[in-house]
């Protein structure tokens, strides 16, 4: 299974994440996908910076497309956003199975006629709590072996406010009405989540620490020391997810501590959408 990693984040931002000890979207998605199926190979295309597929390579060479997170907003009328909207629409219309997290869900929704806005409830950063599957979500293959209510890593300020034609909401929480959705039109399919199943505690610790001043200004933390404590605790949990003291302190359960439960959406997408599509091309 050959997967295109549709990079939605500018290269400068990804390099900054690396400079702060984080892992890039390319690394996170490659690791998450291959951890769920060793048959996966990936190729990354930095769409926002204007990269094109190499000569001799086409979208039809891929069995699936994953769209990464991004600091951009779909309502910004700039070339890097317009190019991504156009390619997301092309991927969907080509019938290639696609999956998006955070920006990926927002991007595909906007590309297919939906609306994205700045969330009036504010930023959701760290752990998105009590994401609840609705009736459609409980019966959906993306959530096979997932708890009916769960927490997940997150970092976003925008949300999908109006879904496009053919979309069904699968999960919500108190911050975002659309925490997960599927868009289908005929045999075309996109699965998207507002949270980040590709993240781990280390990635969240890096994002919180890197943006400490912003979080303090928004009232999400009170002092730099408070932010530093959260960062240190999350890094400790990444190194040792059995730390009972920290599990108790942050009210954590297996949905964030167990990588297979965190990433089950990828496993289900590969098994339900990508493998059959790849097989049909053989």
pLDDT confidence of residue 87: 95
Lookup result for tokens 């060793």: 38
- The one catalytic residue in 140, 156, 196, 215 is 196
Decide if 196 is catalytic: yes
pTM for the predicted model, two decimal places: 0.92
Radius of gyration over alpha carbons of the chain, in Å?
18
- Residue 154's pLDDT is 94
**Which tokens sit at 130?**
């009590």
Calculate the average pLDDT of the chain.
Answer: 92
The pLDDT value recorded for residue 209 is 86
Instruction: Check if the beta carbon of residue 259 is closer than 8 Å to that of residue 36.
Output: no
The dihedral of CA 91, 97, 101, 106: what is its sign? positive
Beta bridge partners of 281: none
CB 166 within 8 A of CB 115: no
Handedness of CA 153, 160, 178, 227 (dihedral sign): positive
Catalytic-role residue among 102, 159, 182, 215: 102
What pLDDT digit, counting tens, does each position of 116-141 carry?
Answer: 999 999 889 999 999 999 999 999 99
Q: Which residues of 123-157 are buried (b: 16+ CB within 10 A; e: fewer)?
A: bbbbbbeebebeeebeebebbeebeeebbbbbbbe
Determine the pLDDT at residue 228. 92
Active site residue 102: yes
* The pLDDT value given to residue 212: 81
Residue stretches of the chain with pLDDT short of 70: 20
- How far is the CA of 273 from the CAs of 62, 64, 189, 212, in angstroms? 13, 8, 8, 39
pLDDT, position 241: 94
Q: Which of 124, 159, 198, 265 is catalytic?
A: 198
What domains are defined for the chain?
2-199+259-281 (3.40.50.880), 201-254 (no CATH)
The yes-or-no answer on residue 90 being catalytic is: no
């Amino acid at each position: 299974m050959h997967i295109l990693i549709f990079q939605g984040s500018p290269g400068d931002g990804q390099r900054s994440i690396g400079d702060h000890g984080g892992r890039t979207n390319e690394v996170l998605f490659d690791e998450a996908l291959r951890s769920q199926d060793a048959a996966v190979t990936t190729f990354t295309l930095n769409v926002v910076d204007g990269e094109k597929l190499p000569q001799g390579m086409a979208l039809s060479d891929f069995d699936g497309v994953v769209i990464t997170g991004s600091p951009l907003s779909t309502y910004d009328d700039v070339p890097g956003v317009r190019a991504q909207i156009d390619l997301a629409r092309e991927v969907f219309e080509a019938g290639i199975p696609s999956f998006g997290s955070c920006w990926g869900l927002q991007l595909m929704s906007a590309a297919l006629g939906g609306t994205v806005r700045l969330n009036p409830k504010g930023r959701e950063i760290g752990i998105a709590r009590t994401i609840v599957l609705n009736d459609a979500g409980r019966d959906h293959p993306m959530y096979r072996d997932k708890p009916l209510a769960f927490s997940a890593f997150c970092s976003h300020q925008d949300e999908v406010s109006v879904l496009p034609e053919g979309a069904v909401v699968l999960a919500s929480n108190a911050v975002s009405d659309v925490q997960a959705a599927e868009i289908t039109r005929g045999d075309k399919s996109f699965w998207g989540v507002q949270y980040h199943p590709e993240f781990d505690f280390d990635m969240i610790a890096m994002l919180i620490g890197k943006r400490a001043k912003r979080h303090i200004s928004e009232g999400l933390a009170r002092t730099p020391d408070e932010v530093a404590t959260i960062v240190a605790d999350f890094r400790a949990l990444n190194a040792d997810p059995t730390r009972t003291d920290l599990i108790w302190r942050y009210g954590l359960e297996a949905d964030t501590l167990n990588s297979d439960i965190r990433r089950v959406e990828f496993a289900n997408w590969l098994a339900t959408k990508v493998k059959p599509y790849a097989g049909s091309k053989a």
